[in-house]
Copies of this chain bind each other. A is one copy, B any other.
Amino acid sequence: MGASKTDHFTDRQNEIATLAKAIGHPARVAIIEYLLKTDKCICGDIVNELPLAQATVSQHLKELKQAGFIKGNTEGNAICYCINEKTIETLQNYFGNIFTKLEKKNNYC
């Protein structure tokens, strides 16, 4: 290839790309949405909700966690996952800021 040349872009650009990539899969969108609508957020529940094997769900959870999208807390022999509000806020602000700038700008083509 073609390794992704992350070192040529700004930290901010890499940060946004990493976050976006983390939810750039329907299973991970589904996980976020499931965590949003439930208070009990044990992995076992998610495995039952999704059409994927336990190992696969665990991997997706790992990626979401590494990107900072979710936090995990061991509770007995289960794990309670929850959404990291800061990350959601970061993305909301990022797109909100772009939208605001677009409104103040010539943006047609």
Contacts and interface: CB of A to CB of B under 8 A. Distances in A.
Contact of A109 (B4, B17, B73, B103): B73
A51 interface: yes
Q: Is the interface of A mostly helix, strand, loop or mixed?
A: helix
B109 A41 contact: yes
B109 A99 contact: no
Interface of A: 2, 4-6, 8-10, 13-14, 16-18, 20-30, 32-33, 36, 39, 41, 50-52, 56, 71-73, 80-83, 85, 88-89, 91-92, 95-96, 98-99, 101-103, 105-109
A98 to B, nearest CB: 5
A63 to B, nearest CB: 12
